[in-house]
Amino acid sequence: MQVNPISARPRASKPHRASVYLLQRFDRRCFKIGWATDPMKRVAQLPEFDRHELDLGASSLLWLPSESRAQQVEHSLHKSLWPYQADVGHRGDGHTEWFESVAHSLAVRLLRQMPATAGANQRSWLVPLVGANSEPDEFGATAPIDVWWAVEDLWTRLAGCLAMRVDNDGDVFCVVLPRFRRAGDALGLRMAVLDLDSYRWATPDVVGSFVSLLDYVGDDLVLQMPTIRQIERWPDGADLVWQVKGFLLRLRRICRGQQSA
| Within a domain: 1 | no
> Strands, DSSP E only, in 133-219?
165-169, 172-177, 200-202, 206-209, 213-217
166 and 106 within one domain? no
Predicted local distance difference test score (pLDDT) of residue 100: 94
Task: Please count the helices (runs of H) and the strands (runs of E) in the chain.
Answer: 9, 12
| Within a domain: 3 | no
Rounded mean pLDDT, 75-90: 93
Q: Which residues of 4-18 are buried (b: 16+ CB within 10 A; e: fewer)?
A: eebebeebeebebbb
Q: Which residue range is the domain that position 87 belongs to?
A: 15-128
Rounded mean pLDDT, 159-164: 84
- In this structure, of 13-17, 133-137, 254-258, the range with the lowest mean pLDDT score is 133-137
What does pLDDT average to over the chain? Answer: 82
Predicted local distance difference test score (pLDDT) of residue 105: 86
Predicted local distance difference test score (pLDDT) of residue 134: 45
119 and 53 within one domain? yes
Q: What are the percentages of helix, strand and coil residues in the chain, rounded to 5?
A: 40, 25, 35
Cβ–Cβ < 8 Å for 183, 142 = no
- In this structure, of 3-7, 25-29, 57-61, 99-103, the range with the lowest mean pLDDT score is 3-7
Percent of the residues in the chain that have a pLDDT greater than 90, as a whole number: 43
| Within a domain: 138 | no
pLDDT tier at 175 (50, 70, 90 boundaries)? very high
Predicted local distance difference test score (pLDDT) of residue 13: 42
158 and 118 within one domain? no
Closest CA relative to residue 99, chosen from 113, 87, 85, 88: 85
- In this structure, of 18-27, 107-116, 195-204, 252-261, the range with the lowest mean pLDDT score is 252-261
| Within a domain: 59 | yes
Output 100 or 260, whichever has higher pLDDT. 100
| Within a domain: 124 | yes
Predicted local distance difference test score (pLDDT) of residue 31: 96
Percent of the residues in the chain that have a pLDDT greater than 70, as a whole number: 82
HSE (side-chain half, CA atoms, 13 Å) at 76: 18
174 and 72 within one domain? no
Predicted local distance difference test score (pLDDT) of residue 20: 95
Please name every residue paired with 224 in a beta bridge, in sequence order, or none if there are none.
174, 213
Predicted local distance difference test score (pLDDT) of residue 189: 74
For residue range 212-236, list pLDDT tens digits in order.
998 999 989 999 999 999 999 998 8
For residue range 104-136, list pLDDT tens digits in order.
988 988 887 777 665 554 556 677 887 554 444
Predicted local distance difference test score (pLDDT) of residue 261: 54
pTM of the model: 0.52
pLDDT tier at 12 (50, 70, 90 boundaries)? very low
Predicted local distance difference test score (pLDDT) of residue 145: 87
Task: Looking at mean pLDDT, say which of 69-83, 123-137, 141-155 comes out highest.
Answer: 69-83
| Within a domain: 4 | no
Predicted local distance difference test score (pLDDT) of residue 202: 80
Cβ–Cβ < 8 Å for 247, 152 = yes
67 and 35 within one domain? yes
Please count the structural domains in the chain. Answer: 2
Output 30 or 13, whichever has higher pLDDT. 30
